[in-house]
């Protein structure tokens, strides 16, 4: 039977109405058979056969290393080219807005090098321990694999993270404001076991730790921290360290600034005083308003940030349920609490933690919100196990001025606009 | 905190009768030549300074060849490369210039870092004498020595204190008012009135492209 044009149109309109009212699709088999291509009988993702469901996909990839789906190609580290003079002494940022949970995939961990990536041959790599020790010792990678091992999930934050934001909102994306941060499961040897092999002599109180890169990256580390919880790591998230993360050996200094986590670690000297290296005098010291500068400010302070929504991860779904997701951490050990404000810090409500709660690791929080489409000024505020509360930018500026560069743990504000876009702003 | 017991145990291992024994017997003893080959650090108290010497004049020739392209003819810094001189008296300014002369506390760091990491494209290529000469020249660029014939050596190195030697304090962040013990997080009416946006990253306009956003 052939339906006259007019009556078809009518029935189509009726059908649309039914759909809009939440009605069940008409059971008319005649309609199904005769519906033209544009008829919205339902979601083409369901109604139309998909190529991957009706054919064979590629087989196992022999000998290859798996990579993310091509549609995820935008999930990459990024740089801020104007920040530094040369890419060999520069930084790339973790795309925090694209990640969830607490673990950073190895290939997305931010990088900071001072003489490029040292391409170390592990068979020829040695670790030397000397100075105020019973016997100066040399270890090969094979030697190190015979020490008792430990695994720890730790965040690593560069002391300069958020360093461009001291005077006010500068960079429009959490990748750039907070992306000198990652969190990885490390496996390695507690530094105290290796020190015990050499034995310490009286007066030992500081270590010089040094990398095998062109910069000979070097820092002074208090012996107390070394004995407490530092790790000489050779694995991250199960596999060998990535070259840009110090392959084959890096120091893990839980809760302390990233610059101390020497990559391509090759030498440890035991001494009785700090070494005043360039990275603990010219850099990684905080100039205060009175002209004096803080040094040996190793610990990372209590901090949190909303990773989504954020300028690079806008709200595309309009009003209604909105998941606010973020990270909290503290060099004191654990972030114990996070509150979220939607009105620029006037009123706060507690966020909910989900996932692992490990000392010196990132912690993931969520706030399950209902967006009414109005302007929101979104902030998060962490508290840690030492009882310290993340300060506002104003509080931090009042105490430290604006020329510290390092250790900016101020509360971050994202402005959510009615169109769903977000922006890094300063509020008062 | 770390346990005093652990440290004591480690000290005993070395200082006691069994100094030659390691708990696991792993690794091997380093030779003197091996330690000397890698032990390049110089401490503020002079520990680690090698034998050697070099004059301002010699340092100037080396500097013009090896350093000036990036750090400027007078240490003023070229482009975004670091300045090595100038900035005295600017540490309390809105835009301080932190250099060896204005900010660095120790001369040893100049020698250590230059010999360790510079020139940028050829680290570890300077001899000890060259490192002394360049360090002398950096003092000259900062008006800390005036005689071009001046010779810096291991013998007189410790005579020099940089101007900002006393400018550093130990970490005292925990005494800041916002970390005062016992503070409770405020939950309502924490700030007066409605929030006002007073600064916007987009107005600054220095964010690189990429990474999503609204478009």
Average pLDDT, chain A: 92
Which residues form the domain of A222?
Answer: 87-293
ipTM of the complex: 0.92
Model pLDDT, residue B15: 46
Find the Cα–Cα–Cα–Cα dihedral B97, B100, B101, B104, rounded to 10°: 90
Residue A304 β-bridge partners: A328
A150 within some domain = yes
Is 50 exceeded by the pLDDT of residue B18? no
Q: Are residues A286 and A312 both part of a single domain?
A: no
Task: Give domain status of residue A70, yes or no.
Answer: no
Which residues in chain A touch residue B103, judged by CB atoms under 8 angstroms apart? 282, 287, 293
Is-contact B154 B126, C-beta < 8 A? no
SS3 A328: strand
Higher pLDDT, B39 or B4: B39
| Interacting residues of B165 by C-beta distance below 8 A, sequence separation 6+ | B105, B106
A275 and A164 co-located in one domain:
yes
More confident residue, A391 or B18: A391
Does residue A111 surpass a pLDDT of 70? Answer: yes
The percentage of chain A sitting over the pLDDT mark of 90, rounded to a whole number, equals 86
**Amino acid A6: pLDDT:** 39
Chain segment B172-184, per-residue pLDDT in tens? 999 999 999 999 9
Residue of B nearest to A316 (CA): B214
Residues A268 and A333 in one domain: no
A201 shares a domain with A126: yes
What is the predicted pLDDT for the residue at A233?
Answer: 98
Q: Is B103 on the interface with A (CB under 8 A)?
A: yes
**Does a structural domain hold residue A210?**
yes
Place of tokens 């290393």: A65
From CA A244, how far away is CA A242, in angstroms rounded? 5
A315 and A231, same domain (yes or no): no
CA nearest A156: which of A327, A350, A11, A22? A327
Contact A399, B178 (CB under 8 A): yes
**Domains contained in chain A, number:** 2
Nearest CB to B7 within list A81, A129, A227: A227
The beta-carbon neighbor of B109 closest among A74, A204, A276 is A276
Predicted pLDDT at A58:
87
CB-based contact (8 Å) between B98 and chain A?
yes
Q: Is the pLDDT of residue B212 over 70?
A: no
What's the confidence (pLDDT) of residue B9? 56
> Average pLDDT of A149-159?
98
- Are A279 and A351 in the same domain? no
CA-nearest residue to B36 within chain A is A130
B52-66 pLDDT tens trace: 999 999 999 999 999
Which of these, A154, A321, A359, lies nearest to A237 by C-alpha position? A154
CA-CA-CA-CA torsion sign (A237, A239, A242, A246): positive
Chain A with chain B: Cβ pairs closer than 8 A: 322
What pLDDT was estimated at residue B145?
A: 97
Those of residues 108-167 in B touching chain A at CB distance below 8 A are 108-109, 112-113, 116-117, 120, 123-124, 167
Ramachandran angles phi, psi of A58, nearest 5°: -60, 155
pLDDT at A33 over 60: no
**Residue of chain B nearest A333, judged by CA positions:** B1
Tell which of A232, A264, A293 closes a domain. A293
Across residues A310-335, what is the average pLDDT? 98
A226 & A338 share domain: no
Given A293, A315, A335, the domain boundary residue is: A293
Q: Is A178's pLDDT higher than 80?
A: yes
Shared domain check, A372 and A248:
no
What is the 3-state composition of chain B as percent helix, strand, coil, each rounded to the nearest 5?
35, 5, 60
pLDDT, residue A87, reads 84
Rounded (5°) CA angle A394-A398-A404: 95
pLDDT digits (tens, 9 = 90+) for B74-93: 999 998 899 999 999 999 99
Pick the CATH number of B53-165 from 1.10.1660.10, 1.10.760.10, 1.10.110.30, 3.10.105.10: 1.10.760.10
Q: What's the pLDDT score for residue B79?
A: 87
At CA B74, angle to CA B73 and CA B79, rounded to 5?
65
Cα A284–chain centre separation:
20
Q: How far apart are CA B140 and CA B142, in angstroms?
A: 5
Reported as a pLDDT band with limits 50, 70 and 90, residue B20 is low
How far is B7 from A192, CA to CA, in rounded Å? 9
Which of A11-25, A114-128, B14-28, B160-174 bottoms out in mean pLDDT, i.e. has the lowest?
A11-25
Distance of CA A223 to CAs A268, A271, B20, Å?
Answer: 11, 9, 22
CB contact under 8 A, B29 and A137: yes
CB atoms B116 and A424 under 8 Å: no
Strands, E assignment, A26-101? 78-79, 91-93
How far apart, in whole angstroms, are the C-alpha atoms of residue B29 and residue B131? 31
pLDDT band at B153 (very low <50, low <70, confident <90, very high): very high
Given an 8 Å threshold on Cβ–Cβ distance, is A277 in contact with B120? no
| pLDDT level of residue B209 (50, 70, 90 thresholds) | confident
Q: Does A289 touch chain B if contact means CB atoms closer than 8 Å?
A: yes
Average pLDDT over residues B91-104: 97
Contact list in B for residue A419 (CB cut-off 8 A) is: 214
Q: For residue B147, how many C-alpha atoms fall within 13 Å in the half-sphere facing its CB? A: 5
pLDDT exceeds 90 at position A221: yes
Residues of A in contact with B206 (CB under 8 A): 80, 82, 170-171
A127: CATH: 3.90.420.10
Q: Predicted confidence band at A184 (pLDDT cuts at 50, 70, 90)?
A: very high
Q: What is the pLDDT of residues A248-288, one digit of tens each?
A: 999 999 999 999 999 999 999 999 999 999 999 999 999 99
**Residues A375, A259 share a domain:** no
Asked if residues A223 and A268 have their Cβ atoms less than 8 Å apart, the reply is no
Residues 359-398 of A with CB under 8 A from B: 377, 381, 383, 387-389, 391-392, 395-396, 398
Upper half-sphere CA count for residue A163 (Cβ side, 13 Å): 21
pLDDT at A89 over 70: yes
CB contact under 8 A, A389 and B183: yes
List A residues 198-217 in contact with B (Cβ-Cβ < 8 A).
Answer: 198-202, 204, 208, 210, 214-216
Q: Within this chain, do residues A145 and A275 fall inside the same structural domain, yes or no?
A: yes
Confidence bin at B7 (pLDDT 50/70/90): low
Residue A129 lies in a domain: yes
B191 — contact with chain A (CB < 8 Å)? yes
Q: How far is residue A401's CA from residue A368's CA, in Å, rounded to a whole number?
A: 36
Instruction: Decide if pLDDT at A173 tops 90.
Output: yes
User: Is 50 exceeded by the pLDDT of residue A13?
Assistant: no
Which chain B residue's Cα is nearest to A203? Answer: B11
CB A309 within 8 A of CB A378: yes
Are both A323 and A278 inside the same structural domain? Answer: no
A20 lies in some domain: no
Burial A3-39 (b: 16+ CB within 10 A, else e): eeeeeeeebbeebeeeeeeeeeeeeeeebeeeeeeee
Asked if the C-beta of A287 comes within 8 angstroms of chain B's C-beta atoms, the answer is: yes
Q: Where are the beta strands (DSSP E) in A14-134?
A: 78-79, 91-93, 111-112, 126-131
User: Residue A22 falls within a domain, yes or no?
Assistant: no
Closest Cα in chain B to A381: B185
What tokens appear for A243 in the block? 């070259």
**Looking up tokens 């900002």, which residue turns up?**
B164
Closest residue of chain A to B199, computed from CA coordinates: A426
Higher confidence at residue B4 or residue B122? Answer: B122
If asked whether residues A166 and A268 sit together in one domain, one would say: yes
| Helices of type H across A375-418 | 393-400
**Partner-chain residue, chosen from A78, A134, A285, that has the shortest CB–CB distance to B211:** A78
**pLDDT for the residue A179:** 98
Bigger pLDDT: B150 or A7? B150
- Per the CB < 8 A criterion, the answer to whether A269 and A291 are in contact is no
| pLDDT tens sequence across A372-385 | 999 999 999 999 99
A98 touches chain B (CB under 8 A): yes
Chain CA centroid to CA A188, Å: 21
pLDDT above 50 (res A402) = yes
């Amino acid at each position: 039977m052939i339906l006259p044009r007019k009556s078809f149109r009518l029935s189509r309109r009726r059908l649309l109405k039914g759909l809009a009212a939440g009605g069940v699709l008409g059971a008319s088999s005649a309609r199904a058979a005769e519906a033209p291509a544009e008829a919205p009988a339902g979601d083409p993702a369901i109604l139309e056969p998909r190529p991957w469901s009706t054919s064979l996909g590629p087989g196992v990839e022999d000998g290859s290393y798996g990579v993310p789906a091509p549609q995820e190609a935008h999930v990459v580290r990024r740089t801020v080219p104007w920040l530094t003079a040369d890419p060999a002494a520069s930084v790339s940022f973790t795309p925090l807005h694209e990640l969830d949970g607490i673990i950073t995939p190895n290939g997305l961990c931010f990088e900071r090098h001072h003489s490029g990536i040292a391409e170390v041959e592990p068979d020829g790599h040695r670790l030397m321990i000397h100075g105020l020790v019973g016997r100066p010792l040399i270890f090969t990678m094979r030697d190190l694999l015979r020490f008792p091992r430990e695994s720890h999930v730790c965040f690593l934050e560069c002391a300069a993270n958020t360093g461009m934001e001291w005077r006010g909102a500068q960079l429009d994306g959490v990748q750039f404001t907070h992306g000198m941060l990652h969190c990885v499961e490390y496996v390695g040897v507690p530094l105290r076991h290796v020190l015990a092999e050499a034995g310490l002599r009286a007066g030992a109180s500081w270590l010089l730790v040094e990398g095998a890169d062109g910069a000979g990256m070097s820092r002074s580390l208090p012996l107390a921290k070394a004995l407490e919880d530092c790790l000489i790591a050779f694995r991250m998230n199960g596999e060998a360290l990535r070259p840009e993360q110090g392959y084959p050996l890096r120091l893990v200094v839980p809760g302390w600034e990233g610059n101390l986590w020497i990559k391509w670690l090759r030498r440890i000297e035991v001494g009785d005083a700090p070494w005043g290296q360039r990275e603990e005098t010219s850099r990684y010291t905080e100039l205060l308003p009175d002209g004096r500068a803080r040094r040996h400010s190793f610990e990372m302070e209590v901090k949190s940030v909303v990773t989504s929504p954020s300028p690079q991860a806008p709200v595309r779904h309009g009003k209604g349920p909105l998941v606010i997701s973020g990270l909290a951490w503290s060099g004191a050990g654990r972030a114990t609490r996070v509150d979220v404000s939607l009105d620029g810090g006037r009123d706060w409500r507690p966020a909910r933690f989900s996932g692992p709660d490990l000392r010196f690791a990132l912690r993931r929080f969520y706030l399950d919100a209902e967006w009414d489409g109005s302007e929101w000024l979104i902030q998060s505020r962490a508290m840690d196990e030492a009882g310290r509360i993340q300060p506002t930018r104003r509080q931090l500026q009042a105490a430290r001025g604006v020329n510290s560069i390092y250790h900016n743990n101020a509360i971050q504000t994202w402005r959510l606009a009615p169109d769903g876009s977000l922006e890094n702003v300063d509020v008062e | 905190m770390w346990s005093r017991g652990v440290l004591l145990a480690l000290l005993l291992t070395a200082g006691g009768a069994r100094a030659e024994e390691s708990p696991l017997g792993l690794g091997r003893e380093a030779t003197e030549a091996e330690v000397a080959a890698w032990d390049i650090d110089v401490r503020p108290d002079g520990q680690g300074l090698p034998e050697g010497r070099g004059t301002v004049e010699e340092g100037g020739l080396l500097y013009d060849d090896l350093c000036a392209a990036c750090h400027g003819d007078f240490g003023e810094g070229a482009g975004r490369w670091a300045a090595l001189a100038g900035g005295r008296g600017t540490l309390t300014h809105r835009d301080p210039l932190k250099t060896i002369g204005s900010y660095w506390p120790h001369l040893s760091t100049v020698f250590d870092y230059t010999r360790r990491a510079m020139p940028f494209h050829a680290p570890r290529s300077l001899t000890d004498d060259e490192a002394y000469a360049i360090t002398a020249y950096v003092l000259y660029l900062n008006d800390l020595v005036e005689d071009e014939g001046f010779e810096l050596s291991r013998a007189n190195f410790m005579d020099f204190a940089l101007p900002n030697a006393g400018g550093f304090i130990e970490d005292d962040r925990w005494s800041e008012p916002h970390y005062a013990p016992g503070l409770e997080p405020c939950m309502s009416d924490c700030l007066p009135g409605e929030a006002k946006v007073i600064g916007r990253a987009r107005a600054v306009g220095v964010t690189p492209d990429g990474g999503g956003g609204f478009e």
